[in-house]
Structure 1
Amino acid sequence: MRRVEHVMGFPVSLRIDDEGDFEPAADAVFAWLRQVDVRFSPFRHDSEVSRYGRGELAADELSADLTEVLGLCEQYRAATGGAFDVRLPGRNLDPCAVVKGWSVQRAAGVLSAAGARRFCLNAGGDVVVSGGPWRVGIRHPEQAGRLCAVLAVTDAAVATSGRYERGDHILDGRTGRPATGLLSLTVVAPTLTEADGTATAAFALGPDGPAWAAARTGCEVFAVDTARRTVRTPGLPVAA
């Protein structure tokens, strides 16, 4: 089965190659993602994230899900020395860089629990797959119609951070200014929670980001810097 819906501001596509009726599981996946958007969007005045950011909720009043997400954000903040930070001065609390991968990985768990063994869930270009290998392209950061590489991915996730879709939206928390030094950075990891968070945090680190991401357990990296040089780790699963 195949399905595409627009959720959380981007297209989410689901492909399941197994035999069986997975429509109920697909319904649950998209219902969950819509729920995440309502609860965690910093662009919704009444979301839990916005209410907490304005001080209307105390830490002990937060849902277990938001507590988990904020815990992940703090781990990345500490690991990058503050380059990744969802609490920048003068800006609203914005954990989207972690929420996306975390929520889509949770959705993949719904599919696995329903018995799906071979599927691809693509959320705005960040991908989690079961089974495989699946061929996943890494977009050229300056030419939309070209690919830098094609990966062969099995039971893993791929996430890319860059400025080609949304401009300089990733800020270096140490300076409050747009991160510099990289055009794009892709991470392959066991889960999309790890791949997405690591890719964004590494991009915020700038030139030091690829080495930092590569040192994290289970992560492989492909990056393009502003001098148009590429960096790739030896274990990157490049398709033949």
Structure 2
Amino acid sequence: MRRVEHVMGFPVSLRVDDEHIGERTADAVFAWLREVDARFSPFRPDSEVCRLDRGELSAGAVSADLREVLDLCEEYRIATGGAFDVRLPGRGLDPCAVVKGWSVQRAAELLRAAGARRFVLNAGGDVVVGGGPWRVGVRHPEQADKVCTVAELTDGAIATSACYERGDHIIDGRSGRPATGLVSLTVVAPCLTVADTTATAAFAMGADGIAWAAAREGCEVFAVDAGGGALRTEGFPVARAEARVA
């Protein structure tokens, strides 16, 4: 079973190789992602995030899901010394850097709860897989039709933060200016909540973010610095030829 939909501003593709998993499970996955978009988008005036930001909701009145997201945002803000911050001066509350990985990981858990064992869920290039081995390419930062490395995952997640698609959109909260020092940074972790948030937070830190991300529990890193040099942690799971392509 395969499906692609545009949700939260990017394409989300789902592939499930288990024959007993049907369209009803896919419906539940995409319904959850659409719900997240409606509730947590900083671009929808009626979302819970925007209502909180305008003061229409008190911090104690937010949903358990939003409280979990905000707690994660604060955890990473503290861990990065303020480089990762979802409340930048002059900007509204924007927890998207956490919401994306968190929500897609929840979607993967819906798949597993339905009995899926062999699947790939790809949300705009950030990927959760099960039942591998699967090969996941990391885009070359200067050549869109090439990869600079290929990771191999069995059950886990991979996420990349970079400036080649959306320009200098990741801000270093310490300076208020676009993050510098890295062109792309990829994190492999047991879940996409960790992989995606760690990748964004580390990119915001600049070159220092590589060692910071590598020191996070369960994380392996592949990075390209501003000079074009590639750095990879020893445990980064480089693919073997026989792994399947995600």
Using the size of structure 2 for normalisation, the TM-score is 0.97
User: Residue 151 of structure 1: CA displacement?
Assistant: 0.9
Deviations 1:57-89 (A, max 9, x none): 101110000000000000000000000000011
Do the aligned residues in 2 keep the contact of 1:133 with 1:153 (CA within 8 Å)? yes
In structure 1, what is the equivalent of residue 11 of structure 2?
11
Secondary structure of the corresponding residue to residue 239 of structure 1:
coil
Do the aligned residues in 1 keep the contact of 2:5 with 2:13 (CA within 8 Å)? yes
Deviations 1:126-171 (A, max 9, x none): 0000110111000011110110011111100000000111110000
Cα RMSD (Å) of the superposition?
0.6
In structure 2, what is the equivalent of residue 138 of structure 1?
138
Deviations 1:95-129 (A, max 9, x none): 00000000000000000000000100000000000
1:115 is aligned to 2:115: yes
Identity %: 76
User: Residue 22 of structure 1: CA displacement?
Assistant: 2.3
Secondary structure of the corresponding residue to residue 207 of structure 2:
helix
Amino acid at match of 1:75: E
In structure 1, what is the equivalent of residue 237 of structure 2?
237
How do 1:31-110 and structure 2 match up within 5 A?
31-110=31-110
For structure 1, list consecutive stretches of 5 or more residues without a partner in the other structure: none
In structure 1, distance between residues paired with 2:112 and 2:81? 36
In structure 1, what is the equivalent of residue 243 of structure 2?
none
In structure 2, distance between residues paired with 1:22 and 1:69? 30
In structure 2, what is the equivalent of residue 227 of structure 1?
227
In structure 2, distance between residues paired with 1:177 and 1:56? 30
In structure 1, distance between residues paired with 2:55 and 2:169? 25
Do the aligned residues in 1 keep the contact of 2:21 with 2:115 (CA within 8 Å)? no
Secondary structure of the corresponding residue to residue 157 of structure 2:
strand
Secondary structure of the corresponding residue to residue 26 of structure 1:
helix
User: Residue 21 of structure 1: CA displacement?
Assistant: 3.6
Secondary structure of the corresponding residue to residue 39 of structure 2:
helix
In structure 2, what is the equivalent of residue 166 of structure 1?
166
In structure 1, distance between residues paired with 2:185 and 2:21? 37
Q: Which stretches of structure 1, 4 residues or more, deviate above 4 A after TM superposition?
A: none
In structure 1, distance between residues paired with 2:232 and 2:95? 28
Amino acid at match of 1:26: A
User: Residue 23 of structure 1: CA displacement?
Assistant: 1.3
In structure 1, distance between residues paired with 2:54 and 2:164? 31
Do the aligned residues in 2 keep the contact of 1:39 with 1:48 (CA within 8 Å)? yes
User: Residue 25 of structure 1: CA displacement?
Assistant: 1.0
Secondary structure of the corresponding residue to residue 194 of structure 1:
helix
User: Residue 54 of structure 1: CA displacement?
Assistant: 1.2
In structure 2, distance between residues paired with 1:45 and 1:169? 22
1:28 is aligned to 2:28: yes
In structure 2, what is the equivalent of residue 147 of structure 1?
147
For structure 2, list consecutive stretches of 5 or more residues without a partner in the other structure: 241-246
Using the size of structure 1 for normalisation, the TM-score is 0.99
